[in-house]
Amino acid sequence: MLPLITRTELLSRMEAGTVVVVDTMPVAYFEKEHLPEARNIPGFPYEQAAEFTDQLAPTVLPDKTAAIVVYCANTPCRNSEFVGRRLIELGYKNVRKYREGIEDWVAGGLPTGSSS
């Protein structure tokens, strides 16, 4: 399992500009709602997560030393685990997971963005 980050710590890191946030939901979900400034690497369908990560990571995450946080919908969602593990396999050095995902973010009354 990936190292975890809490909502409070993630918010603090986002406000400081010291983390790159990666939404691992399918594109349609990402476009509808995501954490502010999040980038998208879909982790679903699961069997395509590695392929999507291989294709998109060089453009979406050009700095392999950056602090990266992956997330998906909620705790049971596995997208972020698949994408995060693949990022580590590709040589990314600092990858953590916001396990509770966007559902927890919204429940905490925090803002989201959309692509529409």
Q: pLDDT tens digits for 97-114? A: 999 999 999 999 999 999
Q: pLDDT tens digits for 55-101? A: 999 999 999 999 999 999 999 999 999 999 999 999 999 999 999 99
Is domain 4-108 given the CATH code 3.40.250.10 in the classification? yes
Distances in Å between the alpha carbon of 41 and those of 44, 45, 101, 107, 109? Answer: 9, 12, 15, 23, 24
Instruction: Judge whether 100 and 10 are in contact, CB under 8 Å.
Output: no
Pair of tokens at residue 36: 């502010």
Instruction: Judge whether 21 and 37 are in contact, CB under 8 Å.
Output: yes
